[in-house]
Amino acid sequence: MNTVLWLIGLCCAVFISHGVEASHPYYRNFQSLQSTSIPIYQPYRTGYHFQPSKNYMNDPNAPNIYNGIYHLFYQWSTLGAVWGNVVWAHATSTDLVNWIHHNMRLSHLNPTFVQGKPIIQYTGIIKSNQWNYQVEDMAVPKNLSDPYLVEWVKPIEYNPVIKPTGIINASAFRDPTTGWQGPDGIWRLTIGSKVGNNGISFLYRSDDFIHWTKAEHGLHWAKDTGMWECPDFFPVAVDGKEGLDTSVLGPNVKHVFKVSLDDTKHDYYTIGTYNPEKDKYTPDEGSIDNDSGLRYDYGKFYASKTFFDHEKNRRVLWGWANESSSVADDVKKGWAGLQAVSRTLWLAENGKQLKQWPVKEIEQLRTKRADVDVIFKLPKLEEVDIMDPSWVNPQLLCSSKPASVQGKSGPFGLLAWACKNFEERTAIFLRVFNHQNKYVVLMCSDQSMSSLEESNDKTTYGAFIDVDPHDDHMLSLRSLIDRSIVESYGVDGKAVITARVYPKLAIGNEARLYVFNNGTENVKMSSMKAWSMKKAEIKYLKDLEFSDI
Ligand SMILES: *[C@@H]1O[C@H](CO)[C@@H](O)[C@H](O)[C@H]1NC(C)=O
Ligand SMILES: *[C@@H]1O[C@H](CO)[C@@H](O)[C@H](O)[C@H]1NC(C)=O
Ligand SMILES: *[C@@H]1O[C@H](CO)[C@@H](O)[C@H](O)[C@H]1NC(C)=O
Ligand SMILES: *[C@@H]1O[C@H](CO)[C@@H](O)[C@H](O)[C@H]1NC(C)=O
Ligand SMILES: *[C@@H]1O[C@H](CO)[C@@H](O)[C@H](O)[C@H]1NC(C)=O
């Protein structure tokens, strides 16, 4: 007989008690290295990014707001600083910045609000002697009067609510989205999968959130994209920055479809149209519907998930930034994985991409420096370098043209975590090009000199940004710099790059921050603001506390 293993979480992490599905590395041999006590000296532990007191964290799950309290669940390893035996953990906040970590641990959940009541929908695993398969389960809060909703129950009479049937590959069937209601009053949700090597998002419908029927065709699929994890599907307003409830439809609404590609570990999205009668999503013409498409973040950011914050009328994005350090170093520091600062997102004026910005609440931590916002004046089109048509991959272009390679208009930008003689530095910079008499900006985050430590992954990241010359002639660059993470927002949040860095020398008072221009043309800096950030207040119920360095 099959047994349902409830305490297993997965969005992208699938753990089966005696075997492992390869969606995250599993370091069995490193378990023995796991130290029992976490060192007090923690130069890379962040001040205002979300992280648990210890151990490995991956996907954000079920972010939401209920009765004025934000909830964030996340996947957490019980094996220490390495992935494995993943369970759910839970934290709450009133401002998305200061958090209380609760002692609830559950499996992968995704709440949808039916008549104002949260329901969590998550992927579980059914295990038999012959095989394992992925199913969708639901859970409800035990006590709606508990402001923190710490306890959740999983009614056995109707779980699992969705099982893989027909052509569905039962080992590749996970991550239900937040549900939305069509004009017919029927609820829908979509689940990530693949058929052959084509990524697909299967669609299900229900009246009561308990009985689900599979639609004949998926909501969307794309050729040769491999397994789709953590799909996210939501409406955005054509005008303005306000977010929309997940069920909103209408003439001034576009839809966003995002997937996390298991094969490349990138989150990409398209903007398109949702037809609620046919239950089909169609990306706009010209959108690239594969790994080369638009990304929320061109650095480290995976398994992301949005929710609609109805109190502030905004759509909020969460995403996981994994480590770039070696597993041995992770084990030494006792933890691995951060959540990027939560961001609001909305449709850009041109309707062709999203823009993102750190949630406003993060500004309450500003005192003097480490949230840096610089604005450069856009040079004249005649004064910038000509773009070579063969430059199609921004990441490769950034690697071949680091900050030391001079151009006319750029590189200019920020040097973060720089030590006295620049042996260590992380360069976040822009270059401006003329491409067929239009501006193209290349944004780079260059980690190649970020640390003297050899074992880190120091990949350079890059993104192209289309710039409308009428955009006030300004190019902004904002970086949130927090110990071992640098999150950079280029040109009003048109491209975001998250990087992880572990300086050895540029720590504490030895760390310096510079603005630089290494292009031959002058670049005017029209404004520069920098704030130091206070530590966010984090309460761990029961777990460890960390001292500052
Ligand atoms: C539900 O939560 C409220 C608020 O915390 C508490 O007063 C009440 O005793 C709880 N009810 C049960 C049945 O646990
Ligand atoms: C089903 O998915 C699993 C996990 O990704 C994969 O190993 C297997 O080859 C798939 N089977 C088929 C028939 O595609
Ligand atoms: C992605 O899609 C674009 C446009 O449809 C296509 O030109 C390109 O070859 C695709 N790339 C991959 C890796 O499939
Ligand atoms: C985590 O980081 C490593 C190395 O930096 C990378 O190769 C891997 O794909 C990352 N995983 C995810 C899920 O982002
Ligand atoms: C600027 O370019 C010079 C000459 O190539 C180089 O020595 C210097 O390190 C560069 N500055 C930065 C920030 O890379």
Residue 103 phi, psi (nearest 5): -95, 15
Q: Which CA distances in Å does 35 have to 39, 89, 329, 380, 541?
A: 9, 21, 12, 57, 21
Q: Each residue of 81-110: pLDDT tens digit?
A: 999 888 888 999 999 999 999 876 454 455
pLDDT of residue 401: 96
Q: Residue 379 carries which DSSP code?
A: P
pLDDT band at 296 (very low <50, low <70, confident <90, very high): very high
Q: Is the CB of 291 under 6 A from ligand 3?
A: yes
- What is the model's pTM? 0.90
Measured on CA atoms in the order 232, 238, 239, 245, is the torsion positive or negative?
negative
Length of the chain: 549
pLDDT of residue 130: 67
pLDDT of residue 541: 52
State the ligand closest to the CA atom of 11.
Answer: 4
What single letter denotes the amino acid at residue 344? T
Ligand 5 centre from 512 Cα, in Å? Answer: 16
pLDDT of residue 9: 28
Q: Is the CB of 414 under 6 A from ligand 5?
A: no
pLDDT band at 12 (very low <50, low <70, confident <90, very high): very low
pLDDT at 31 over 80: no
User: Which of 67, 146, 150 has most ligand 1 atoms within 8 Å of CB, for mutation?
Assistant: 146
- Cis preceding-peptide flag for 411 (omega within 30 of 0): yes
Q: What is the rounded average pLDDT of the residues 10-39?
A: 34
- Tell me the average pLDDT of the chain: 86
State the ligand closest to the CA atom of 147.
Answer: 1
pLDDT at 336 over 90: yes
Give the strand pairing for 335-336 and 55-66.
parallel
pLDDT band at 29 (very low <50, low <70, confident <90, very high): very low
d(CA 414, CA 433): 19
Q: What is the rounded average pLDDT of the residues 523-536?
A: 79
Q: What percent of the chain has pLDDT over 90?
A: 67
pLDDT band at 456 (very low <50, low <70, confident <90, very high): very high
Q: Which of 221-225, 340-344, 411-415, 445-449 has the lowest mean pLDDT?
A: 411-415
pLDDT at 15 over 50: no
d(CA 381, CA 386): 9
Q: Is the CB of 40 under 6 A from ligand 3?
A: no
How many other β-carbons are positioned within 10 Å of the β-carbon of residue 507?
16
pLDDT of residue 17: 22
Q: Is the CB of 143 under 6 A from ligand 1?
A: yes
pLDDT at 148 over 50: yes
State the ligand closest to the CA atom of 59.
Answer: 4
Residue 510 phi, psi (nearest 5): -85, -10
> Which among 471, 467, 488 is positioned nearest to 373, based on CA atoms?
488
User: Which of 223, 224, 292, 294 has most ligand 3 atoms within 8 Å of CB, for mutation?
Assistant: 292
User: Which of 518, 520, 521, 523 has most ligand 5 atoms within 8 Å of CB, for mutation?
Assistant: 518
pLDDT at 431 over 50: yes
pLDDT of residue 524: 85
**59 in active site:** yes
Ligand 4 centre from 322 Cα, in Å? Answer: 6
pLDDT band at 112 (very low <50, low <70, confident <90, very high): low
pLDDT band at 472 (very low <50, low <70, confident <90, very high): low
Q: Each residue of 228-276: pLDDT tens digit?
A: 999 999 999 999 999 999 999 999 999 999 999 999 999 999 999 999 9
pLDDT at 513 over 90: no
User: Which residue's alpha carbon is at the smallest distance from atom 9 of ligand 5?
Assistant: 404
* Ligand 4 atom nearest 303 alpha carbon: 13
Ligand 1 centre from 147 Cα, in Å? Answer: 9
Largest CA distance in the chain: 73
d(CA 432, CA 494): 15
Half-sphere exposure of 173 (CA within 13 A, CB side): 24
3-state SS string for 168-186: CCCCCEEEECCCEECCCCC
pLDDT at 28 over 60: no
Tell the residue number behind the tokens 């979480």, with chain if given.
9
Beta strands in 378-437 (DSSP E): 385-386, 412-418, 426-435
Q: What is the rounded average pLDDT of the residues 1-10?
A: 26
pLDDT at 37 over 80: no
pLDDT of residue 50: 95
* 319 against 526, higher pLDDT: 319
pLDDT of residue 113: 58
d(CA 441, CA 244): 30
Q: Is the CB of 139 under 6 A from ligand 5?
A: no
pLDDT of residue 116: 66
Q: Are 257 and 235 in contact (CB under 8 A)?
A: no
Give the strand pairing for 385-386 and 426-435.
parallel
pLDDT of residue 419: 92
User: Which residue's alpha carbon is at the smallest distance from atom 6 of ligand 2?
Assistant: 171
